Amino acid sequence: MLRPQFVLFGDSLTQRSFDEGGWGARLASEYQRKVDVINRGYSGYNTRWVKHIVPLVFPVSQKIPPELVTIFFGANDAALPDRLSARQHVPVQEFRGNLLSIVQHVQSLGTKDIVLITPPPLDEAARIRHNQQQNEEVSEATSIPERTNTFTSEYAAAAKQLAGELGLPVLDLFTEIQKQKAWQTEYLEDGLHFTPAGNKAVFDLLLKTIRKDLPHLRAEELSDDFPSHRDIDENDPAKSLVSYAKSTSLQAA
Amino acid sequence: MLRPQFVLFGDSLTQRSFDEGGWGARLASEYQRKVDVINRGYSGYNTRWVKHIVPLVFPVSQKIPPELVTIFFGANDAALPDRLSARQHVPVQEFRGNLLSIVQHVQSLGTKDIVLITPPPLDEAARIRHNQQQNEEVSEATSIPERTNTFTSEYAAAAKQLAGELGLPVLDLFTEIQKQKAWQTEYLEDGLHFTPAGNKAVFDLLLKTIRKDLPHLRAEELSDDFPSHRDIDENDPAKSLVSYAKSTSLQAA
């Protein structure tokens, strides 16, 4: 395969990013004919669990490393340690260390461009409703949210701070989404996962981050895979297409 | 990378398939966590042109061949030889031969599962409007459609017949879309390319084809990449994850 890869690495907020109107699908559309956008989202995973699979998800044997990797965790790590999703909880200091080791592994492949994405804000009232629906009962456990905005804010801050220390671009979704009007209902469908409007906001913000911090990866800077059909010499198509292949040192190996 | 690949090979009807509501994005969502859906759509290309790049798009050096390839051409080959898009025209017999050689190359990689997709029907009135908008004038050339439904029907029939002879599954979009009510305006945005509703129809029909003719590729037959987070032993996550990697003979090479 010829095209550079953008790999989206994360939890369900990444795994579901090709659902209708999803931010991953929008990125694939933006970079059509230029980049393969590869989804490596693992629903429900926290950084403690995902750390074990990082060497398999990003094998060092891969000849051409991803051109860009987004690392988007924290929503599960920030589950509270004494509530319904306690088993997903990871203390914030460990979260930070896990993120660092993920970044270091990805960098060891030769990938230079990494965007850290902070977990988004939570709508606690919607989480309670969701938990009660999932558990089909109102109990002490389902009457309080399993994640809170305050607690998640620490994970967002840790990711942002780490990005700063490492000199990596960061998309601070936690802050940016809360700037929007009625974000709780407009952008989140169950207090945690994105609506189509929320997905569009994530895409717009990610694109803004790329355009600002990684201008060499703007879509208009990347060439199409093979020439425009308008540039093919209809009397000698082989010439147009073979010379392109040579100019980009592609080989029909 | 660990996951099987479905490669979508075609013209603009494939290249744009990750645009909003696109059939490619829908397929990626359907197969999330299981399959990488790779877009190899080349807007404006006919089979004569694309034939030259087939060995580069599908290098024989690729270690693991695509699990599924959709081959979806004909919309440009069927441009009429004496009208506005004449340079894209390819005679139907040559189209058939080109399709065959594409199939044979893909099969030579080791890929067994190939779906041929016929070109969709045309709305000629909408094409005239589109051509006049594009050319900003009403002339003799823009007052007649550059593609017609009757002419395209020959290319659809050729693709369908070839699939039959080769024993390959075929998605006869030309016939199926015309069964739908008001397909001209509901499914096509400019008489040729799909609206979101048209994209959904293409996805639904493709999924139906896979489920019927390639039941081993139904999403529920394919395993997720790494275990469900619910199956991870929180007291020994490494064990759950490493044993999975061993069971699927993955190596952190």
Residue A22: what pLDDT?
98
A243 domain residue, yes or no: no
ipTM: 0.94
Domain count, chain A: 1
Cβ neighbours of B232 in A, within 8 Å: 49
Q: How far apart are CA A94 and CA A79, in angstroms?
A: 14
Q: Residue A87 in 3-state DSSP?
A: helix
Select the residue of A24, A52, A225 nearest B237 (Cβ to Cβ).
Answer: A52
Task: Express each pLDDT in B72-126 by its tens digit.
Answer: 999 999 999 988 899 999 999 999 999 999 999 999 999 999 999 999 999 999 9
Cβ neighbours of A15 in B, within 8 Å: 32-33
Residue B244 vs residue A228, higher pLDDT = A228
If pLDDT is split at 50, 70 and 90, which confidence band does B248 have?
low
If pLDDT is split at 50, 70 and 90, which confidence band does A246 have?
low
A247 is catalytic: no
B246 domain residue, yes or no: no
Kindly give, in sequence order, each residue whose CB lies less than 8 Å from that of residue B28, ignoring residues fewer than 6 positions away: A18, A24, A25, A28, A39, B18, B35, B37
| Least confidently predicted of A42-51, A73-82, A160-169, A233-242 | A233-242
Q: How far apart are CA A3 and CA B56, in angstroms?
A: 11
| B238 has a chain A CB within 8 A of its CB | yes
From residue A234, alpha-carbon distances to A18, A44, A238, B86, B87 in Å are 37, 52, 9, 10, 7
Looking at the predicted structure, is the pLDDT value of residue B13 above 50?
yes
Which residue is catalytic, options A12, A17, A228, A249? A12
A85 domain residue, yes or no: yes
Return mean pLDDT, chain B. 93
Kindly give, in sequence order, each residue whose CB lies less than 8 Å from that of residue B95, ignoring residues fewer than 6 positions away: B46, B47, B73, B74, B77, B78, B155, B158
Looking at the predicted structure, is the pLDDT value of residue B138 above 80?
no
Query: Could you tell me the CATH number of the domain that includes residue A135?
Result: 3.40.50.1110
Q: How far apart are CA A44 and CA A13, in angstroms?
A: 9
Return mean pLDDT, chain A. 93
B199 domain residue, yes or no: yes
From residue A140, alpha-carbon distances to A81, A84, A135, A143, A212 in Å are 15, 10, 12, 5, 46
B248 domain residue, yes or no: no
A252 domain residue, yes or no: no
pLDDT (average), residues A7-12: 98
Looking at the predicted structure, is the pLDDT value of residue A253 above 60?
no
Query: In chain B, whose CA is at the least distance from the CA of A238?
Result: B52
Task: Express each pLDDT in A190-212 by its tens digit.
Answer: 999 999 999 999 999 999 999 99
Q: What are phi and psi of B152, to 5 degrees?
A: -60, -30
B residues 78-117 near A, CB within 8 Å? 87-88
pLDDT (average), residues A23-38: 98
If pLDDT is split at 50, 70 and 90, which confidence band does A247 have?
low
Query: Testing the interface with A: which of B23, B204, B225 to mutate, by most A Cβ within 10 A?
Result: B225
Q: Residue A239 in 3-state DSSP?
A: helix
Residue B139: what pLDDT?
80
Looking at the predicted structure, is the pLDDT value of residue A252 above 80?
no
> Sign of the CA dihedral A44, A47, A48, A51?
positive
Kindly give, in sequence order, each residue whose CB lies less than 8 Å from that of residue B74, ignoring residues fewer than 6 positions away: B47, B95, B118, B119, B152, B155, B156, B158, B159
- List the domain range (segments joined by +) for residue B145: 5-222
Residue A245 vs residue A146, higher pLDDT = A146
Task: Express each pLDDT in B186-222 by its tens digit.
Answer: 999 999 999 999 999 999 999 999 999 999 999 999 9
| CA B164 distance to own-chain centroid | 18
Select the residue of B18, B232, B250 nearest A28 (Cβ to Cβ).
Answer: B18
Task: Express each pLDDT in B163-175 by its tens digit.
Answer: 999 999 999 999 9
Residue with tokens 């004449």: B86
A129 domain residue, yes or no: yes
Taking a C-beta distance cutoff of 8 angstroms, is the pair B133, B88 a contact?
no
Cβ of A29 within 8 Å of Cβ of B22? The answer is yes
Task: Express each pLDDT in A92-113 by its tens digit.
Answer: 999 999 999 999 999 999 999 9
Query: Testing the interface with A: which of B6, B8, B29 to mutate, by most A Cβ within 10 A?
Result: B29
**Residues of B that are catalytic:** 12
Select the residue of A22, A49, A52 nearest B229 (Cβ to Cβ).
Answer: A49
Query: In chain B, whose CA is at the least distance from the CA of A23?
Result: B20
pLDDT (average), residues A44-54: 97
